[in-house]
Chain A
Amino acid sequence: DAKTTQPPSMDCAEGRAANLPCNHSTISGNEYVYWYRQIHSQGPQYIIHGLKNNETNEMASLIITEDRKSSTLILPHATLRDTAVYYCIAFNSGGSNYKLTFGKGTLLTVNP
């Protein structure tokens, strides 16, 4: 799986959009970009994933650049409950690889 690079921490004001960047410059054509988050002491929570098109669901939007070397997770109206560690993962389960690998992620702190 391609290595991803995320800033270790970010701050965001409550009610504002939180834009979390992720670099995955070595991503291969069949690797999806997945985002998870982990609120303190809880199990990780799946947010969204995409291959090359932008994606949106009830939680967030995912913007993937045309060259697929980076992506941005957007939380449109951040709340205090969005404070968490956010993980960006490039993953392809082709062949015998089923191993979703988590890095250290970005600690997003939403401030009142």
Chain B
Amino acid sequence: NAGVTQTPKFQVLKTGQSMTLQCAQDMNHEYMSWYRQDPGMGLRLIHYSVGAGITDQGEVPNGYNVSRSTTEDFPLRLLSAAPSQTSVYFCASSYSWVSGSSGYTFGSGTRLTVV
């Protein structure tokens, strides 16, 4: 049982490049989400999914795409990287989005630098 696995752990991109941050969970969780965390700030929700085939936008979705073709995987795609997307990205999952359910499990993060 690996929990939530994020790859890569570190990445440097040039402005304009695209890439996909991977997130996988082996807990059969329905809910998955992506957050970004900038220095000195809290986590901001980018996109989330309440089940396979269902995704929606969070607070800061611009510049990012997601898809959820399986329960296990929730990749985050940067379409054309910009320096403003330099951040630490966290993926989280939970077996349910319903109030009162157990908390979210977070991955260890991907540290992305765009130069």
Contacts and interface: CB of A to CB of B under 8 A. Distances in A.
A92 B97 CA distance: 9
Contacts of B97: 93, 98
A44 B90 contact: yes
A46 B99 contact: no
A101 interface: yes
Pick the most buried of B35, B103, B109: most chain A CB atoms within 10 A of its CB. B103
A31 B99 contact: yes
B42 A103 contact: yes
Contacts of A91: 99
A51 B99 CA distance: 10
Given A36-B103, A45-B106, A105 B42 contact: yes
Given A43-B90, A93-B98, A99 B103 contact: no
Chain B contact-residue range equals 20 to 34
Given A49-B100, A93-B98, A99-B58, A87 B42 contact: yes
B31 interface: yes
Interface string A22-46: 0000000011101010000111111
A93 B59 CA distance: 16
A100 interface: yes
A56 to B, nearest CB: 15
A45 B90 CA distance: 12
Contacts of B41: 104
Contact of A102 (B43, B99, B103): B43
Interface in A67-105: 87, 91-94, 98-105
Given A44-B43, A98-B31, 10 more contacts: A34-B103, A46-B103, A49-B102, A49-B103, A98-B56, A99-B59, A100-B33, A101-B42, A101-B45, A102-B42
Interface of B: 4, 31, 33, 35, 41-45, 48, 50, 56, 58-59, 88, 90, 92, 97-100, 102-109
Interface of A: 30-32, 34, 36, 41-47, 49, 51, 87, 91-94, 98-105
